[in-house]
Structure 1
Amino acid sequence: MLRHPLLNEPYQPDLRSWIGGFIGYDMPPALDAELSRYNPNDPDDREHLILHYCLERFHARENFRHRHQLVEVLQAALDDPDFDFQKVWEPMEDDDQWPAGWPAQIDDSRDFFQRLLQAARQRWHDDLIRARLPSLAQCRAIPARDRGSRDWLFSIDNPEAWKAIFDVAATPYDLHTPGPRFHGEQLSVQLAGPLPGQSLPSTWPASQMLTHCRLDLKIHGISELHASGTRFDGHMRTQLTRLKPGYYLRLEIGFDCVIECVAQSVRIANVQGSREEDRHEQQL
């Protein structure tokens, strides 16, 4: 169950969660003066309040799953033609305080929340996609025949980065990594190894033939991740499954390391090619 980002309780937002920044007990004078500059019944001011207060006030600990649940609550209310949006603005306590300069009545309150939904879907687009990704348990249940082939490199978002250097449609299998780097909800892995000899273009002169590759594998928008093992460096075996949307990625590294994740996008970058003799010269 999704937990509240600040309280030790389940996260159960309602429509007042969206407008909580406009109401409160003993509102600071500076905030009251700031909000009183805007009229929520004016279309332009309404857009400003939505973008700069409703969508930006949420706590940093709220993640994409909290945002998805907020949008679900809002969508459900808008789907109900009889929902009374005016009641959302009514103070729950006698000491609740709205901005002093605001009108006593919010006109066409449904329009306010309709605009709010549209803006949230645009600004939180990536977060809402991530929230729809399947769980790791669901991905593990995918039949082996549907999990992708060894040519994982050409199932990712931008195989053109590879073809621009090598012009071959084959994934090198014998790749090694010094270890993954985690950056919050992102993961990157440096990879290097020989190219499959049988896939090299026959038009390459022997003296110019690229025999080794180096690239970065970048995973963005991770929604769920599991890692186990003790050594995260060494030979890497990759299994990549394209989802709709997103990806399921399984990395087996070294002797016992396994990294599994579900992510919004997987791409490669910094693709480089070299000749084997160049590597020897660099080591001397």
Structure 2
Amino acid sequence: MLLDPYLKQPYLPRLSYWVGCFSVYDREETLGEELNKYDPNDPVDRDLLIRRYCLKSRPRETFHHRRAKFDVLEQALADPTFDFASIWEEDEDQEDFYDFWSWPSNWPEIIDPRGLFQAIKETAKEVWHEDLQRSNLPSLQSCREIPERDLGTYDWLFSVDNPQEWKNVFNLAVTPSDLTTLGPVFEKEDFTLSIEGPMNSLIFRPSHWPPSTAFTYCELDVLVSGISELEVRGSQFGGPLRGTLTRLNAGYFLRMEIGFDCVIECVALHVRIANVIGSYRRNSR
């Protein structure tokens, strides 16, 4: 169940949440003065108001909350009889921050209330594009139930967003089998794995590469972003690495086995590689 990020109760957004950011109740001398500079009926001002206030990133709000708000908006717009003008009226039967309406003193009446909410939707689709994509990714549990024959192979380097980064350095159609890592580094909703290992599969070396000039060691970073669901199990976060990467309709199902008992599983929009280095012997980064 999705909880309100502040109240810790079920999150049940209403359409009024989209315009509650314009209420200057108890903020007339701060937010009120700022909003009075704009005309919500002017297309340029309206676009600025939507981007700066309606779609402002809020602490603790996740892509799940944004999806829920978007669905409420989309549902209302799908109803040709919905009265959008009523959203701007105070509802005395509701006890919610967003219902203590006090609009900027210089604002005129909204000429086209439905048009305003339609503009909010179109701009949200642009600004929240990745969040809305993430919300449509399959669950981690459903990915675990994918038949083995449909899972990715261990040559996962060639299923990432940018396999050319590897090919530009090694020109090899194989993922090294003896890769190791010190473990994941998490930053907000993303993580990075720095990996390295010997190039033992030299039978895949292009015929025009003399043995003396073929790289024998590789280093690279794996960058995972747009994660919708993540699970990390185990205690040994460094050591040998074995991975599979399964392409979904949009995004990936990634499974990495690391060291003695660590397993990283996630569903994410993007898996990229970067900082690919080839050398003739082990180099410390």
Q: Which TM-score applies when normalising by structure 2?
A: 0.93
- Quote the residue 1:32 is aligned against: 32
Match of 2:12 in 1: 12
Aligned to 1:198: 203
Deviations 1:184-226 (CA, angstroms, capped at 9, x unpaired): 1111111111221221112111221112111111101111111
Which of 175, 178, 195 aligns to 1:174? It is 178
Runs of at least 5 residues in structure 2 that lack an aligned partner in the other structure: 93-98
Which secondary structure does the structure 1 equivalent of 2:110 belong to?
A: coil
The DSSP-based 3-state class of the residue aligned with 1:25 is coil
8 Å CA contact 2:25, 2:103 repeated in 1:
no
**In 2: Cα distance, 1:241 partner to 1:62 partner:** 29
Tell me, in whole angstroms, the C-alpha distance in 1 between the residues paired with 2:184 and 2:102.
50
The residue type equivalent to 2:90 in the other structure is P
Q: Distance in 2 between matches of 1:59 and 1:180?
A: 27
Does residue 269 in structure 1 map to residue 274 in structure 2?
A: yes
Q: Give the Cα separation in 1 of the matches to 2:31 and 2:22.
A: 9
Equivalent-residue separation in structure 1 for 2:226 and 2:129 (angstroms): 12
Partner residue in 2 for 1:42: 42
Residue of structure 2 equivalent to 1:151: 155
Q: What one-letter code is carried by the residue in structure 1 that aligns with 2:63?
A: F
For structure 1, the residue ranges without an aligned partner over 5 or more in a row are none
Deviation at 1:100, TM superposition (A): 0.7
Q: Distance in 2 between matches of 1:95 and 1:72?
A: 23
Paired residues of 1:162 and 1:271 also in contact (CA < 8 A): yes
Where does residue 60 of structure 1 map in the other structure?
59
**1:215 aligns to what?**
220
Question: Which residue pairs with 1:260 in the alignment?
Answer: 265
CA contact (8 A) 1:16 1:88 kept: yes
Shift of 1:95: 6.3
Give the % identical residues. Answer: 51
Deviations 1:19-39 (A, max 9, x none): 001125333312212111212
Deviation per CA, 1:148-172, whole angstroms, max 9, x where unpaired?
A: 1121110110011001111111111
Report the counterpart of residue 104 of structure 2 in structure 1: 99
1:237-283 CA distances to partner (integer Å, 9 max, x unpaired)? 101111111111011011111111111100111111112xx33xx69
Report the AA paired with residue 70 of structure 1: K
Q: 1:167 to 1:95 in 2, by over 3 A?
A: closer
Stretch deviating more after TM superposition (170-179 or 114-123): 170-179
* Alpha-carbon RMSD: 1.5
Matched residue type, 2:141 = A
Offset at 1:89?
A: 0.7
Q: Does the aligned pair in 1 maintain the 2:24–2:31 contact within 8 Å?
A: no
Residue identity in the other structure for 1:236: L
Whole-Å separation in 2 of the counterparts to 1:197 and 1:266: 26
Report the counterpart of residue 82 of structure 2 in structure 1. Answer: 83
Structure 2 residue 147 is the aligned partner of structure 1 residue 128: no
TM-score by length of 1: 0.94
Detail structure 1 runs of 4+ shifted over 4 Å in the superposition. Answer: none
Report if aligned partners of 1:27, 1:97 keep a CA contact under 8 Å in 2. no
Aligned to 2:117: 113
What is the total number of aligned residue pairs between the two structures?
Answer: 277
Task: Quote the offset at 1:59 in angstroms.
Answer: 2.0
Aligned to 2:96: none
1:224 to 221, 226, 229: 229
Amino acid at match of 2:22: F
3-state SS of the aligned residue for 1:133? coil
